[in-house]
Amino acid sequence: MTIQAQFPKEQTEEGEFKRQEDSFRDWVTADGTSGYPAAHGRYHLYVSWACPWAHRTIIVRKLKHLEPVIGMTVVDPIRDDRGWAFRDGPGHSTDPINGFTVLSEAYQSTDPTYHGRVTVPVLWDKETKRIVSNSDDDIMRMFNSAFNGLTDSTVDLCPEELREEIDRLNVFLYENVNDGVYRAGFATSQKVYENAVRSLFEALDSLESRLSTQRYLFGTRTVETDWRLFVTLIRFDAVYHGHFKCNIRRIVDYPNLFGYLKDLYQDEGISDTVNLDHIKRHYYITHDDINPTRIVPLGPDQDFHAPHGRDHLE
């Protein structure tokens, strides 16, 4: 029997999912030396509530009070053969900036020779009418510092004194947790799947231990790494546990991780960035090779507003 990979161009012969590299890596800077100066209203963010990579940028935009500075349009969570599309519906809309019907038009407008997979997030420059970046890593860093002159927020999610440690833990999280769930879910061989799941839960076990003695990953303050982890944890029990077969344990089974998840969720404005309806419908309907019936489960019933019990940790 032939097993169909979710993204055949990103699948090895051994059955391992190898995510494509980001293709657009220009940079917005405060002084404009990059050719893209930080400016009020110049840039627009195309995202999906469902996508964890896009979710990271939505969170930083929220925490840095950049909503009046950088506009945002949300695509339909149901991705079809044409890719991410702009349609009116609950929590998503048509494109008010360019009138694009599908996000691939933004990619083709920027580079007519582009043949890779079309992904979110996309940071669009309305002046040059092209994509600045489709790298969530870069967009998070841009939002954290490049627009400081246009916001009243003093939040710094990547302080210089922690940057080396942040970068190191980011890599660990990406390889084992953030992308780890996809390496498990998109695996097309038993061995590859089992290796990914074991690495994932070894990482979650180590994070559970780390969070037993401190409130956040680096102590008493949140940094970008916390939000990188958050977007995976908030989707885990609803999607990755069942849909991606990451079912050794749930996040709710980890006292520290689940408390940490609730703690982050209850941070001001964060719940506004979480749309579990979009999340569940995207995964269970779009990935019809994994879920051929396209039935979306009702659960789990979890209360992220319940007390998190982590105020005492330093």
As given in the structure block, the two tokens for residue 100 are 């694009």
- Cis, bond preceding 121 (omega within 30 deg of 0): yes
Q: CA 282 to CA 275: how far, in whole Å?
A: 11
Question: Which amino acid, residue 209?
Answer: S
Backbone φ and ψ for 232, nearest 5 degrees, come out as -80, -45
Catalytic residue among 46, 51, 216, 246: 51
Instruction: Please write the tens of the pLDDT for every residue from 47-88.
Output: 999 999 999 999 999 999 999 999 999 999 999 989 999 999
Q: CA 181 to CA 179: how far, in whole Å?
A: 5
Higher pLDDT, 285 or 22: 285
Band (pLDDT 50/70/90 cuts) for residue 13 is confident
Q: CA 214 to CA 233: how far, in whole Å?
A: 18
Q: What is the pLDDT of residue 271?
A: 98
Band (pLDDT 50/70/90 cuts) for residue 22 is confident
As given in the structure block, the two tokens for residue 47 are 């995202």
Q: What is the pLDDT of residue 26?
A: 98
Is the pLDDT score of 2 beyond 60? no
Q: How far from the centroid of its chain's Cα atoms is residue 27's Cα?
A: 19
Catalytic residue among 46, 107, 182, 283: 182
**Contact residues for 264 (Cβ-Cβ < 8 A; gap 6+):** 222, 226, 227, 230, 270
Q: What is the pLDDT of residue 217?
A: 98
Is the pLDDT score of 3 beyond 70? no
Establish whether 246 is a catalytic residue: no
Element (H, E) at 260: helix 255-265
Establish whether 158 is a catalytic residue: no
Instruction: Please write the tens of the pLDDT for every residue from 193-227.
Output: 999 999 999 999 999 999 999 999 999 999 999 99
Is the pLDDT score of 16 beyond 90? no
Backbone φ and ψ for 72, nearest 5 degrees, come out as -150, 135
DSSP three-state, residue 80? strand
Is the pLDDT score of 143 beyond 70? yes
Task: Work out the angle between the directed axes of helices 163-173 and 224-235 (0-180°, nearest 10).
Answer: 20
Q: CA 206 to CA 204: how far, in whole Å?
A: 5
**Contact residues for 23 (Cβ-Cβ < 8 A; gap 6+):** 111, 114, 116, 134
Is the pLDDT score of 313 beyond 80? yes
